Structures are given as structure tokens and as C-alpha cells.
Structure 1
């Protein structure tokens, strides 16, 4: 579901120009600030057009947290308008914000107080409601996975610098990110566009100005990550409607199948995921058998779910996140004791987790991920 499909979106005025001319404006991975009053030849840059079409919809998010840092702390990040009432950002940017403690600054320097209407710690997404929204157009989420090497722009407020843009490419898809609460965030996008603290919650857009993802974190290693629009299209409508979103949960720990394990369990190719742990009383308890320490390759190997091949952990996580809901019964194709078998498992909502203290500056730490 496209969360802005029934809302007015910005006018599409991007001109169809030659790819070589469009991509000649900036080097890969560079940052650029676009100022009013540029020469006419600069206006022909596709990057300039996208910036001018979208930047009014991007906001600076500030959170007053008097309980942080001995009475004088807060959070800072980015967000963007998705309809005439709502702004999307990261959960870790606004987590534990006091009532009426979220302030938004728009590109025209107008300020608005926002309320948090829904948060999801597992995908690190949050939706804010704004009364009397300034007259800015909404940004739309795409519904498909971006292409590797596709040109993208990051819009937001790195280090608190307002209305900034950085440019790069999609350098990876289907990345598995550890969330601030441990559970993995699947189907994430990797980019070499510059991402810094303060960019969190801002949009990663394509050259049509549509949102491919919500910026999540940088690594200080010339790559950054964004939560995919495909996941946001499932989570955000639920946050607006119910204030929360339920993720599918199996209750297993898994690891990739390498050549040694494949040979031990009788697989011709090194594919699938080996079940290493099963959580007590979880949906997988009594259905799947984990490996033991004495026999590391003795556990079940999941090779397909509902007829879809599962070559690795990323594909299992993406399938659960994007194709299923709690209450669904899925059919697993597994290899056990050298034999191919099928098993059914009914998914449940993920159990609650303890919320961590939010980081200051709008960029989370990245602890190890927990399996689904």
C-alpha cells in the first residue's frame, strides 16, 4: 500500500533530459548545497530540479529531553511530509519525547509543534501529526526495490545544517541492519551518498523525487543505510491508524549454510539457513529442530517458505517482513537428517522488548541483530 496514494503529491515537472548531461553535475558520493539565484545553466541539472521540488517537504526535527544529560539534552534529526497532517521520521529521533516536545522547522523557517501518533522500534519508524501544516507538497513512497547503481539523493539536516543534499548511488539492497532494540531490519538500502548524524529520518529519493527509503544511519565508512519504502509502506499506515505495527515472529536463530554444512546435511549446493536456536514457547518450538553444539550441522535447514526459495538469512527476513503478518500459517521446506520435508508454522507477533535510551544527535548505535 502506498501511504500517500490518496493524498496530493508534488507536481511532476522534471524535464526528460539526457542521462549524460543529468549525471554530469556532481561526482558520485559528493555533497552539494543548492542556493537560490543560480545561473540558468545550473537549473537544467536534474539534481537541482529534484532538490527544488522536494526540499520544502523536508523538516528539521528537534526533541527537548530535559531528562537527558542531567537536565539539558535532546534529539535532532530529519523528517518529511507524507500528507497534509503527517511527517515520517525515525523512532530513535523522537523516542521518549515528552508531550508537545517535538518541534519541526520547515524550509521557509516556519516552526510547528508535532505530536507522536505512532512508533515502531523494530523498523525504527515514527509518524508525527502536525496541526496547521504549512502549504507544502507530500512526498510519495515507491513500491518497488531500487536498482543497484541507481542515482539517489539524501535530503535532510546533517549535523543540524538545514536543507542539505548529498548525492550518490544505490550501492546495495536487501541489507540486514541491526535495529536499536536488536531485532534485524530487513530489506534495507545501502548508499554511498553522504549520511551524518542529523540525516536520520530524512528521505532517500530517486531522480523523480520519490522516496526510496528513510535514512537510518551512517557508518563513518563512506556508506549509509536507509529503511526501505517497501517496509515503510506496510508500517506507516498502521502507525497512523493504530499507533503501532505488529511484525511476524518465528522465534528462531539461524545462520547461513556454507559448503561444509551443506555437505553434512546432504545438500548439493550451499543454500538455505541452518536453524541454530529455537525460542521456548515461540511458534517454531516443537516444529523446527535446532543444531546442537556437539553436532553443528544436525539442525533443520530451511530452504524455502511458501514455495519461495530462501538462499540466505536476508531473504528469510525480507519474506517475513514484506509478505506475511502475525496469524499467517506458512509452509516451510526443510532438510532434516538428509531428507527433504515440509512443516507448517503459524506466525505470532514479536514479543515486547525493553526500549533503549535514545541516542543524542539522531544516529543510532548498531548492536548485533537478533534473528526473526
Structure 2
């Protein structure tokens, strides 16, 4: 496993949501024909997505499989359009091959990937269409006390949702972002990295990338994501390893 970021992780007392030596065990190798099983309901309680909102979120959310040099890790991503999706930088680090698995079980190979040092964000493109539904990106960041819902593939398992409250702005506990990030009470797990964070209307307001020992989650706000999408010079190609 990669060790170059271990000291920073220990000092920050946080867990980036991917497999490494200090984190919960990463899921084992999966067959290439793995079909993610959808969640059976959109969830319950305040802030839960409507059935229509859940269906749209399910169709835009994908499972990202990083086949690296001697390891396999998983994360989550979401489609911006038919050939472009968002995930975390750490989800695709040291990759040899990136596979995207859609809600209906299709496996699609990534053609290019770009990352940034501004935040823990990666943009992946595919030649084959992702199909499904695409993200409705919010205009503004959520604010303290807003209810949000995270949609993703925790621990590489089935698609699931979890809701929480935005606690407010926070310095990036991992030091991977320029500027503040947002902390929430939504409980996330390894494999949730790259999950879209949705407001009550199903709009993307952020991207999950880490949690701390108190089970608070941290998200890259949508304002940062939109800056990256508008300023493509901030993105650099991710070179294949091995």
C-alpha cells in the first residue's frame, strides 16, 4: 500500500475514504462482471429524497473501480453528461485502469482522467455513453443546518443513501484543498469517496471525500467543483502507472 500520505493522515486524525494501511480494510477483488444491486428505497426521515429524486440519483451515480499496480480499490462518481463524470482524486491515484460500473450493471472503461491540486476532485471521461440521468448542479453551496443526502456505493456494496446536516465550513482536515470545505453529520464509509451530495431538491451541492473519527463527513462544495469545470487549466492529466 502507498505510504507517502500516512503521516499527514495521522496528524489530521482523519480518514480519506479509500483503502490504505490506516483505514478500514478495502473490499477484495471483484469480478469484472459485478452488477451493483440498487437500494430498495430512497430512504426515510427528514431530507430523504423523493422516489423520483432517488431514481434520478441512482441513474447518475456510478461505481468507480481503480485497477492499480497490485491493488484494486473502489469509489463512487456521478455523471455530468453522457461522457463525463466526477469522483475524487484519491479514488484514481496510481491507476493502471479505471472502470466505471453503472446502475444497470454495464462496465465502461475510462478513456482519460484529470485531477487537480486545488481539491480532492478528478474528472473522468469515457468513449462509451454513460446513459442514465445526469447531475443537476446547484448554483450555491449549502449552508449550516441544511439537510443533505449522500448517494453512493459504500464499501463497494449496493447503492445506498444517507442523510445528514451541514455543520458549516471547516479547514480541509487533509490539507488537500485550497480554501474551506464543508463538514456534515452524514455517515460515510470507504467506497463513498466521490459520492454526490444532494440537497432536498436532488441538486448536487458537493462531493464527499473524507471523514473523521467522530464520523463527521467532509465535502468539496459545489462552488469549488464549478470553478474547476469552468477553469480547465486547473486540471492536469492523470498519467497511467505501471
TM-score normalised to the size of structure 1? Answer: 0.49
Q: 1:153 to 1:170 in 2, by over 3 A?
A: same
**Match among 126, 130, 134 for residue 134 of structure 1:** 130
**1:118–1:242 Cα contact (<8 Å) kept:** no
Q: 1:48 to 1:185 in 2, by over 3 A?
A: farther
Give structure 1 regions of 4+ aligned residues with deviation exceeding 4 angstroms.
none
Q: Which residue of 2 aligns with 1:114?
A: 110
1:50 matched to 2:53? The reply is yes
**2:83–2:130 Cα contact (<8 Å) kept:** no
Q: Per-residue deviation at 1:53?
A: 1.9
1:197 matched to 2:224? The reply is no
**Residue range with higher mean Cα deviation, 114-123 or 222-231:** 114-123
1:78 matched to 2:71? The reply is no
Q: 1:189 to 1:176 in 2, by over 3 A?
A: same
Aligned residues: 198
For residues 262-291 of structure 1, what are the alpha-carbon distances to aligned partners after superposition, in whole Å with 9 as ceiling and x for unaligned? xxxxxxxxxxxxxxxxxxxxxxxxxxxxxx
Q: Which residue of 2 aligns with 1:95?
A: 93
Q: Which residue of 2 aligns with 1:353?
A: none
**1:178–1:185 Cα contact (<8 Å) kept:** no
Q: Per-residue deviation at 1:135?
A: 2.1
Looking at both structures, which has the greater relative contact order when contacts are Cα pairs under 8 Å and sequence separation is at least 6?
Answer: 2
Q: Which residue of 2 aligns with 1:35?
A: 40
Distance (Å, rounded) in 1 between the aligned partners of 2:113 and 2:83: 11
Q: Per-residue deviation at 1:204?
A: 0.6
TM-score normalised to the size of structure 2? Answer: 0.74
Distance (Å, rounded) in 1 between the aligned partners of 2:76 and 2:111: 15
Q: Per-residue deviation at 1:47?
A: 4.1
**2:81–2:134 Cα contact (<8 Å) kept:** yes
Q: Per-residue deviation at 1:122?
A: 3.1
**2:77–2:87 Cα contact (<8 Å) kept:** yes
**1:117–1:243 Cα contact (<8 Å) kept:** no
Gaps in structure 2 of 5+ consecutive residues: 1-37, 238-242
Q: Which residue of 2 aligns with 1:155?
A: 151
Distance (Å, rounded) in 2 between the aligned partners of 1:81 and 1:146: 20
**Match among 186, 191, 202 for residue 209 of structure 1:** 202
Q: Per-residue deviation at 1:143?
A: 2.2
For 1:311-326, what aligned pairs fall within 5 Å after superposition? none
CA RMSD, aligned part only?
A: 2.6
**2:78–2:135 Cα contact (<8 Å) kept:** yes
Q: Per-residue deviation at 1:232?
A: 0.6
Q: 1:242 to 1:147 in 2, by over 3 A?
A: closer
**2:89–2:120 Cα contact (<8 Å) kept:** yes
Q: Per-residue deviation at 1:79?
A: 0.3
